[in-house]
Structure 1
Amino acid sequence: MADLWDGALIDAAIWHARTGDVARQFRYRALYAALPVDALEAAHLPLRPDRPGLWRLRRQDYGARDGSSLTDFIRSQLAPVGLSHCQITLVTMPCGLLHGFNPVSFWLARDDAGLRAVLAEVSNTFGESHLYLCRHPDKRVIAPGDRLSGEKLFHVSPFLPREGYYVFRFDPGPGRFGAWVDWFGKDGDLRLQTSMIGKARALTASALRRAALRHAFQPLRVTGLIHWQAVKLLLRGVRYRKKPPQLEIRRSEATAERSDV
């Protein structure tokens, strides 16, 4: 059974379901990598940062977005909440041959007791990003059934307002990864459900080569699917919202479950 904390490939099923103004669902599959950050930066994994190839991982696409150390970045995010001692694995979609885009990457932080925090790094197609730190205020382990809520502060889709709140849920395995993110409007009604669920398999050099050959254009395909769904929403008369200026706050928290969920 593959362990996310040793390095893995995740055959993920992605699901989105919209309700309210229009009911719509869409699904697609994507291959993600789970990369222990310390081993990644020490070049102990088959996938190495900033190395050319059909599948690439660029430091400039994460964290401070300036090509600096990924380890330093995630430790700086966890230190203020007393979790800098944790082991970190980054779950992400590597760049393809021509394109790189991650709707969301997850930095998983655990210790011997279990999962303590998840930093969700959300990006939009306008080149912006926001960090949602998901954790319990008392630092207790995040169980698969725990629901962590945080205000929506980042513009992702031009068909949804920047308001309301998210509810996050995570399952880090073993042998699998699951992330669920639901969006509730300011009225408290559930408007959008999303999930990413998949089994994990070992990240070996041969498995990485096969993945790179088979999925060299995966990020380009995902971006195309996002825009194709946008066209479908436009054709159904869903209102297009102009992108607002990004808020100055670039990191926020999702903690205790809200009483109105």
Structure 2
Amino acid sequence: MDKIIELGVTSRAELIAGGLTDNDLRRMVRRGELAAERRGWYSIPGADSDALLAVRGYGALSGPTALDKYGIWVPPGYEAVHIRAGKDAMRRGEACCRPPGPPLPVHSILDPVPLALCSAVGCMSPDDWIVVADSVLNSQGLDVELLLAMLPRPNATIEMLLTECDPRSQSGTETMVRTRLRRRGYDVVVQPNLVGLGWFDLRVGRLLIECDSKLHHTSLENYRKDRRRDRKSLARGYSTMRLTYDDVLYGWDDTLADITRTLDDDRHRLPPPDDE
């Protein structure tokens, strides 16, 4: 509910449930404290522009837009506002983002995470959907089975994509690298824990892969820590490859070529030391 309040667009039912009466609502409209957007829906001054677009389109924010509002990391390319249209909007012939099956009623301006995730499957590429699903799993402490049970309309596509998800993933870039390498037949270990060195993002054979989660400048302390871990892991038979955000998002072909050349080296095909 806090997220809905932040957006500044609510339904009459939500306001009544919060303790207001219809007389209160009419009074607030007269005073300019609320604006009647359409029948049964109100906004406050300064309401979120995406939410206003949704309510005026007879729908709710859903898919990538809703997930972003909840703080779920969404890959670039989904900046357009994604609206799940209710039955009224469907009759009006307006475009919509929707989950599998017939249209569902709109009760709130912001779809809950499970419904937004279901809607996103028709708006996002399979790989990007896995990224946001991993983010939901990790940020909300869920496993795949529990998330599947929470989804309102999981179809065969969603169930298939969930088999590639992993709640241990710590970032969207890590998810991207994992899924891309596995689809090329590599045995990718997620979040390996090396005794005395700690956790790493991914391991393929004796190659450790660390993925930057976003564009950032690392602190001097982290820089020193990372280089120490690189040195210690190298002394124990591992190599470390550090991938930037740009390497994964915008330079993947070149990055993959380097990974492939590295993994084709026979020493990386050997079993890793027994220290995980």
Same-fold call, TM cutoff 0.5: no
Relative to total residues, which structure has the larger helix share, 1 or 2? 2
Using CA pairs under 8 Å that are at least 6 residues apart, name the structure with larger relative contact order, 1 or 2. Answer: 1
TM-score normalised according to structure 2 size: 0.25
Relative to total residues, which structure has the larger strand share, 1 or 2? 1
